[in-house]
Chains A and B, each alone.
Chain A
Amino acid sequence: MSATLFEYVLRIGDDSLILGHRLSEWCGRGPILEEDIAMTNIALDLVGQATNLYDYAAEIEGKGRNADQLAFLRFDREYKNLLLVEQPNGDFGMTMMRQFLFDAFRKLFFESLEQSSDHQLRAIASKSLKETKYHLRHSSEWVIRLGDGTEESKIRVQEALDTLWRYTNELFYQDDIDQELIQNGIAPDLNHLRKDWENLVSNVLNEATLEIPNNNWQHQGGRKGFHSEHLGKILAELQYMQRAYPNMEW
């Protein structure tokens, strides 16, 4: 049971950490100052959520590892994040589209996780949900503004949607880990969120005058540790300090 819960918490934590890291790559490079600040703020929320989740995972594991060790000292196959969150930033439209598809899922996910029978997951969910609502509002507004914007912005953000859509099925990936925790009332059944996610996403995309692509090919593998080539590059940067100077602290 505790091994299952550890794995489950790690998966959610990895989603937060890797997306938080991706957004932090925009620091100093935002298209305008306000967006530079917004993206780093959101990155900070996500890394904060990851810290809370890793603290809890470390406690469940009970092997003396701490949150930093989980964040910085695992190998790529041990990271269990969704493939969506590790996809490159691309242009600003690509980053906002990735964020929007994820935020829409995250909001519904945390709302359900707030009902978990696990006290600490409930606490983390209600804390994170308040932040996620702001993220979702921000990313939705940008998707609409870019989609229903200029000819150029529309082309770009439609391309982003076409590229990223094939990673969205994985948002609802579930296996034995989830099944066991669903039975214990700890994890929400993601199948129940799917309809709401589709509605939320299509409302915003309609407003943005964007079209959901009909490519049916869907990637998955992140939850089992099978990643795209991008994760290794993220980790090379993310882990550099701890690998080069083991146990260093700020």
Chain B
Amino acid sequence: MVTESEIWMYLEEVADPEIPVLSIVDLGVVQKIEILDLSCEVTITPTYSGCPAMKLIETQIIEKLIEKGIKNVKVNLVLSPAWTTDWISEKGKKKLLTYGIAPPVDEVDKSVLFAEPIVVPCPRCSSEKTRLVSQFGSTACKAHYQCKDCLEPFDYFKCLR
């Protein structure tokens, strides 16, 4: 009989398709795991409404659990509560940084249109002199920045709350 914590461990092995350095558990998209007699239900939530990776994540969860001998896996997709970058684990944030993606920093209220820009340190040289190139980067969840010191362009995992 498999336990819930074992399933959490197995899902640590499922990589996010777009940022493979993170597992789907690090990313915080796994909401709930329920063990029923001989089956298991995993509830996930999308990062963004149009995230094209959800279908693949679902397939990968099922494949991983079948590989671990758990048949009858059901994956539910829920929208509520809405995903937030606060759910990215501390471990996940460190992995992002090592990978060259600046992790989300606490941000001023987005509803204020003309607030001071936030400081996003460069993941390469840690300089705080960086500039926003574009609010929208290589995927919906990232913005595009450049470091003014080492000149490295980099992705910033933007804060979503």
Contact = CB atoms under 8 A, between A and B. Distances in A.
> Which of the listed residues A38, A47, A204, A207 has the most CB atoms from chain B within 10 Å of its own CB?
A38
A49 B51 CA distance: 10
A155 B138 CA distance: 32
Interface stretch (A85-93, A124-132, A183-191): A124-132
A204 B80 contact: no
Ranked 9 nearest A-B pairs via Cβ = A48-B50, A48-B49, A123-B80, A34-B134, A38-B136, A44-B50, A41-B136, A123-B79, A127-B82
11 contacts: A34-B133, A34-B136, A37-B144, A44-B50, A45-B49, A45-B50, A48-B49, A123-B82, A127-B83, A131-B140, A134-B135
Contact of B52 (A34, A44, A136, A138): A44
> Which of the listed residues A35, A44, A52, A126 has the most CB atoms from chain B within 10 Å of its own CB?
A44
Contacts, number: 81
A140 B134 contact: no
A119 B80 contact: yes
Given A123-B80, A131-B48, A133-B111, A44 B134 contact: no
Given A37-B134, A37-B136, A133-B111, A128 B80 contact: no
Interface of B: 46, 48-52, 78-84, 110-111, 113-114, 133-140, 144, 158, 160-161
Contacts of A46: 50
Given A49-B49, A123-B80, A124-B79, A133 B140 contact: no
B103 to A, nearest CB: 18
A130 B161 contact: yes
A134 B110 contact: yes
A48 B49 CA distance: 5
A157 B133 CA distance: 22
Chain A interface, DSSP helix/strand/loop, else mixed: helix
B50 to A, nearest CB: 2
A122 interface: yes
Given A34-B144, A45-B48, 11 more contacts: A34-B133, A35-B134, A38-B134, A41-B136, A41-B140, A45-B49, A127-B79, A127-B80, A133-B110, A137-B110, A203-B113
Interface of A: 34-35, 37-38, 41-42, 44-49, 51-52, 107, 119-120, 122-124, 126-128, 130-131, 133-134, 136-138, 140, 203-204, 207
A69 B49 CA distance: 19
A41 B139 CA distance: 7
B47 to A, nearest CB: 10
Nearest to A16: B49
Given A38-B135, A133-B111, A47 B50 contact: yes
A127 B140 CA distance: 14
A141 to B, nearest CB: 8
B135 A137 contact: yes
Nearest to A133: B110
B50 A130 contact: no
A19 B81 CA distance: 26
